[in-house]
Structure 1
């Protein structure tokens, strides 16, 4: 698969892999175990436009989050360690 195809089918190919039991991470493959999450895997595997729309909305929501810095938060160099 060329890079142009993988960019166009971003998300759809990932979700189709989950339907085939070929999830890259065990935790992600577990999306097939829940009724609600399995529904979304099936929807995203068959509807590229729906996945792209929902992905874009999620990224917009994330961009609205404010990063907490001192004194209310911290930016960690190592996520496993609290300073």
Structure 2
């Protein structure tokens, strides 16, 4: 369930610390926030397809699931 519909974007030229800024900001927050990070720099310039964006989005969701879930083997 999505409780908040907030959206933020950090843009700027390459190699100025955008990703570091976002990671530090999320680490400092006390709320139960799970960030979804998508590296749009991996898209080829301005000409990219919906499939390309969807692939990056799903990779981000997959990484998020791997980082914020755990598997426990239940006793038989």
TM normalised by structure 1 equals: 0.26
State which structure, 1 or 2, has the greater radius of gyration over its C-alpha atoms. Answer: 1
* Bigger share in helix: 1
TM normalised by structure 2 equals: 0.28
